[in-house]
Structure 1
Amino acid sequence: MAAYTAKVPGGDQILAVTNGSGDIIYQSPSLGLDPEQRAEPSLYRVLQNGKEFFVWYQIGVPLEPASPQDAGKPVAQLIVIDSSGRATPVEENVTAVRPVAAGDVDSAVAFTATDGSLAMHQDPKVNAQNTDYVRVLNPETATLEPIPEFEGQTWLARIDGVDIFRSPKSTDPQAGATIGTRDWSTPFADRPTNGSVWFGPTFMTVQKADDACESFDLHTGEPIAFQGALNGCAFVGGDLHSYDSASSPNGQLVLMRWNDSQNVESRWIVNLSTGEQQQIDPAFDFRPSVISNSGDVYGTSSDGRTGYLKFPDQMTPQFHEVPNDLPSGITDDGIALFKDEFLPAFFAVPLK
Structure 2
Amino acid sequence: MINLPQDNILEISLIGTGGGYGESIVIHLGEKNWVIVDSCINPKTKDCLPLKYLESKGVNIEKDVKLIICTHWHDDHILGISKLFEYCKSSIFCMARTTDTKKFLQLVGLDHNKAKNEASASSTSEIQKCFDILYNRKTVLKGAEQDKLLFSLENNEINAKVYSLSPSDFVMNEFDKEISTLISDYGCSNRKIIFQTPNEKSVALLICVNKHFILLGSDLEVSSDIRKGWLCILDNCQCINLKKASLFKLPHHGSENSYHKRIWDELVLPNTIAKITPWNLGTKLPKDKMLETFLEHTENLFITSLISNNNTAKKRERSISKAISKFNNTLYEVKYNFGIVRSRLNLLNDNEKWQTDLFGEAIKITKDKFAK
What is the TM-score when the length of structure 2 is the normalising length? Answer: 0.30
What is the TM-score when the length of structure 1 is the normalising length? Answer: 0.31
Structure holding more helix per residue: 2
1 or 2 for the larger relative contact order (CA 8 Å, sep ≥6)? 2
